[in-house]
Structure 1
Amino acid sequence: MRILVVGRGGREHTLAWKLAQSSEITNVYVAPGNPGIARTAKCECVDIDELNMEELVTFAIQKTIDLVVVGPEAPLSAGLVDEMIGAGIPAFGPSKEAAQIEASKEFAKKLMVENNIPTAAYASFTDLESAKEYVKQQGAPIVVKADGLAAGKGVVVAMTEAEALDALDQIMGDSIFGTAGSRVVIEQFLEGEEVTIMAFVDGKTIKPMAMAQDHKPVFDNDEGPNTGGMGTYSPVPQFAESLTDEVVKTIIQPTVEALQKQGITYKGVLYAGLMVTKDGPKVIEFNARFGDPETQVILPRLETDIMTIFNAVIQGKLEYVDVEWSNDATVCIVMASEGYPGNYDKGRPIRGLEGVAEEFGNNVAVFHAGTNEKDGQIVTNGGRVLGVMGRGIDLLQARDNAYQAVSKIEFAGAHYRTDIGLKAIKNVQ
């Protein structure tokens, strides 16, 4: 089989790496991909932008692609899956209509409130002064979100009223996220611990994935501005397995059914970002795709052939597939550019990548998130540059492998958190 993965980041590198392990697959094309993907067995990068739908469809037809896997939110929200299916090419991911659950926070919140799906109380605004007035009425802490897609950075958890008002000025007044911030959603602040539960969905059957916990703030101890994610780990031992069953029953299943009532069949991955409060799990956000960097710790633990799952989702036969997970633990450390999530330089040479593969073997994988190749040298090309995944028999060993590998990789100004997974390890101890 010949597969086309659409995207260029760490999530897509992980997807390509996992697909290449399937015995059914001969070629994995990735558009546009990155230098790390280009060095992965069976994988080949194709110079087509992920939003160039016409060229992507043409390429898929010319290469007789058997399946297209769409990674990022932007092409999903633009309707790439619909375009592929319309051209007779099987595609994994939700339709444009279904992807609204991520593309519009207002759409998602309205759906949840109308269907009694647990989430934070909210209000939405298109007028800056009205939004500010609401913040002054509610007080802080409070959460301000750009309604549209903002690469995981459109959320401000404001601990003071001044922070919230400043966030509104930046999002709505200065348009730092473009049109994504023309509407804002302002939410009640939820107290508790965050966790991510993703699920494969075929329109009716739901198969949850292993749990993961992401670390959004840029600095240790959850300080500093939110990012797209600075690291993650799986499993999450501070939560019982029964939490997954509860989330499927009270959140994911009702969401899929609520969409169906609106005539929207959801197929693909549904990502639930959750806050586990004293009143139970509540939705912080939905994503219409694999999380990034959660994919980097989830897919290494997947034991069932990923192509079997993807085909079952597309055919509506997921109920017949047993999705199995290894008992291994995985930890992913994101190595970011100096200045991220603000301004940062590109083009800084990265050293030590080859040595990591030789020294750690299967216990470590380095997934490229923001890299480029210049004169035969891999250089930085984004805010989040690399995701270094360590595997072990438990989180302690997995974390140790990940951080040892990180210590071997160098680029000027490299920044990473030093506390990924500590919360879980302290809990277990």
Structure 2
Amino acid sequence: MKIIVIGENAKEQALGSLLECRGSNEVLVVPGNPGTVQFEQSVEELPDNYNPEDIFGTLVEFEPDLVILCDEDLIRKGWGDSLSSRGWNVLAPDIKACHMIDDKPLWAKIMQENDIPVADFRMLNTIEEARKFVEEFPCPFVLKEVEGEKRFAIPYNEDEALDLLEEWFGNGHTRVMVSEFKEGRRFNLPVMVYKARVVPLLPYIVMRGIYEHEDDPQAKGMGAVCSARGPISHEHAQEAVERIMVPFFKVIQKRGVDYNGLLTGEFVLTDHGLVCVNMKPGLSETGAVSYLQLLRSDLAKAWFDLQEGKPVNLEWRPKVAVSVVLAGKDYPQTDSHDAPIVMDEDFEGIINYNHAKVGENGRILTDGGRVLILTRVDETLAGACAKVQESADAIHCSDLIHRSDIGQDLD
């Protein structure tokens, strides 16, 4: 099978590697990154004047059996619709479905109205409403700017909440969604969706925040842990699918919206049951590089089986994968650019390039915030944690940092 993966970060590289290893597939990742050049070797005949930056030209010349659109910006710009209209089989939601998932107040309301477990919420339309809310309800709670910059925050005291809301409303007309902050075990679940059929991949736990032993739900992931027999089980994943995702996709299907593609849900396992707190189109960087290392099945075949109504049974390695992000030392305030990255000759591990580039003489350089993601697999959580730290210690760059505690605080 000939497959084009569209994107340039860590998840596209990890997905390309899976597709090449788990099936008899020819894979190209465009525009790609320093780690995706290797996939060109699996192609029997590259298009003439092949240039990975020319995405559309590559599609026309390569004539893929499947296009997997991972770049969320391109999905939001309607690339999925455009490519599908030209006859390609595209694994990506159309722009209508993407906008549905991007509109958190909308899908949360749909869930609420249909008794689907979701964090309770309300809308604040003026600064006066916001001040009154803060007076009446204790922190923490979750704030999401629906318009404008669409910022996200979790204030932990009244003064912090008021300062944030004054700033957000003070910048012009906006609306703010405020939802309850759920206590419990947080986990992400990627799924493959075709209309109202949902196939779960493997749940994973993200460590968020720059500092050791930090758990900041509003920060991007600096590491992830995934296991087929970990603290989040297949049973929890199946519950999320059956009680939340399938009912939701059935409801929006009745409203004329079919979600076809990959999606990642975020859930909290509370004392009172499972609750959905967020959804996003596509796959996340940090988690994808972990669970894709454990998948034994060909994801492309699974997609075709799902479309055709056939049973989809994904097989997973009974091991633990741990990923660690190497980020710029001043991340998230500023990105890192052009700092050379040197690797020990005896380096072991899986490197996925997230924001890195090739400089002169073939040297790998930093080119963003979260630059590299390293992954190791082992029989145990402790073993995978120790191995991935050894991998991180074997990479040298004066402008990169990483957390050394990823996975250590998990039960």
Q: Kindly tell me: are residues 75 and 115 of structure 1, through their superposed partners in 2, closer, same or farther at Cα, counting changes over 3 Å?
A: farther
1:249 aligns with 2:237: no
Q: Kindly tell me: are residues 336 and 206 of structure 1, through their superposed partners in 2, closer, same or farther at Cα, counting changes over 3 Å?
A: same
Match of 1:167 in 2: 164
Match of 1:21 in 2: 21
1:366 to 351, 356, 361: 351
Aligned-partner SS, 1:402 = helix
2:365 to 379, 389, 392: 379
Task: Return the offset for 1:69.
Answer: 0.8
CA contact (8 A) 2:339 2:397 kept: yes
Q: Show the 5 A alignment for 1:199-214.
A: 199-214=191-206
CA contact (8 A) 2:203 2:232 kept: no
What one-letter code is carried by the residue in structure 2 that aligns with 1:332?
A: S
Task: Return the offset for 1:133.
Answer: 4.0
Q: Kindly tell me: are residues 46 and 67 of structure 1, through their superposed partners in 2, closer, same or farther at Cα, counting changes over 3 Å?
A: farther
Mean CA deviation greater in 195-204 or 223-232: 223-232
1:327 aligns with 2:298: no
What one-letter code is carried by the residue in structure 2 that aligns with 1:350?
A: I
1:189 aligns with 2:174: no
CA contact (8 A) 1:142 1:158 kept: yes
Match of 2:107 in 1: 108
Provide the rounded CA distance (Å) in 1 between the counterparts of 2:51 and 2:86: 20
Match of 1:64 in 2: 63
**Structure 2: 5+ residue runs without aligned partners?**
none
Provide the rounded CA distance (Å) in 1 between the counterparts of 2:143 and 2:83: 35
1:422 to 401, 408, 411: 408
Q: Kindly tell me: are residues 339 and 132 of structure 1, through their superposed partners in 2, closer, same or farther at Cα, counting changes over 3 Å?
A: farther
Match of 1:346 in 2: 337
Please list every run of at least 4 consecutive aligned residues from structure 1 whose deviation after the TM superposition is greater than 6 angstroms. none
TM-score by length of 1: 0.86
What one-letter code is carried by the residue in structure 2 that aligns with 1:83?
A: S
CA contact (8 A) 2:12 2:29 kept: no
Aligned-partner SS, 1:220 = coil
Q: Kindly tell me: are residues 225 and 277 of structure 1, through their superposed partners in 2, closer, same or farther at Cα, counting changes over 3 Å?
A: closer
Residues 1-60 of structure 1, C-alpha deviations (whole Å, 9 max, x = no match):
3322121211111112212224432231322x2112224554899554xxxxxx644542
1:123 aligns with 2:122: yes
Aligned-partner SS, 2:365 = strand
What one-letter code is carried by the residue in structure 1 that aligns with 2:230?
A: P
Task: Return the offset for 1:229.
Answer: 1.0
CA contact (8 A) 1:78 1:96 kept: yes
Match of 2:288 in 1: 295
Mean CA deviation greater in 285-294 or 295-304: 285-294
> What RMSD, in angstroms, separates the aligned Cα atoms of the two structures?
2.6
Residues 149-182 of structure 1, C-alpha deviations (whole Å, 9 max, x = no match):
98xx94322111222233335555569xxxxx95
CA contact (8 A) 2:30 2:55 kept: no
Number of aligned residues: 403
Match of 2:3 in 1: 3
What one-letter code is carried by the residue in structure 1 that aligns with 2:146?
A: D
Q: Kindly tell me: are residues 397 and 286 of structure 1, through their superposed partners in 2, closer, same or farther at Cα, counting changes over 3 Å?
A: same
Match of 1:80 in 2: 79
Aligned-partner SS, 2:337 = coil
CA contact (8 A) 2:13 2:29 kept: no
Provide the rounded CA distance (Å) in 2 between the counterparts of 1:46 and 1:124: 47
Match of 1:395 in 2: 381
TM-score by length of 2: 0.90
Provide the rounded CA distance (Å) in 1 between the counterparts of 2:163 and 2:219: 18
**Structure 1: 5+ residue runs without aligned partners?**
49-54, 176-180
CA contact (8 A) 1:337 1:383 kept: yes
Aligned-partner SS, 1:222 = coil
1:229 aligns with 2:221: yes
Mean CA deviation greater in 224-233 or 278-287: 224-233
Q: Kindly tell me: are residues 46 and 342 of structure 1, through their superposed partners in 2, closer, same or farther at Cα, counting changes over 3 Å?
A: farther
Match of 1:52 in 2: none
Match of 2:208 in 1: 216
Q: Kindly tell me: are residues 121 and 276 of structure 1, through their superposed partners in 2, closer, same or farther at Cα, counting changes over 3 Å?
A: same
CA contact (8 A) 1:7 1:70 kept: yes
Provide the rounded CA distance (Å) in 2 between the counterparts of 1:223 and 1:25: 39
Q: Kindly tell me: are residues 128 and 64 of structure 1, through their superposed partners in 2, closer, same or farther at Cα, counting changes over 3 Å?
A: farther
CA contact (8 A) 1:329 1:392 kept: yes
Task: Return the offset for 1:386.
Answer: 0.7
Provide the rounded CA distance (Å) in 2 between the counterparts of 1:27 and 1:297: 20
What one-letter code is carried by the residue in structure 2 that aligns with 1:98?
A: A
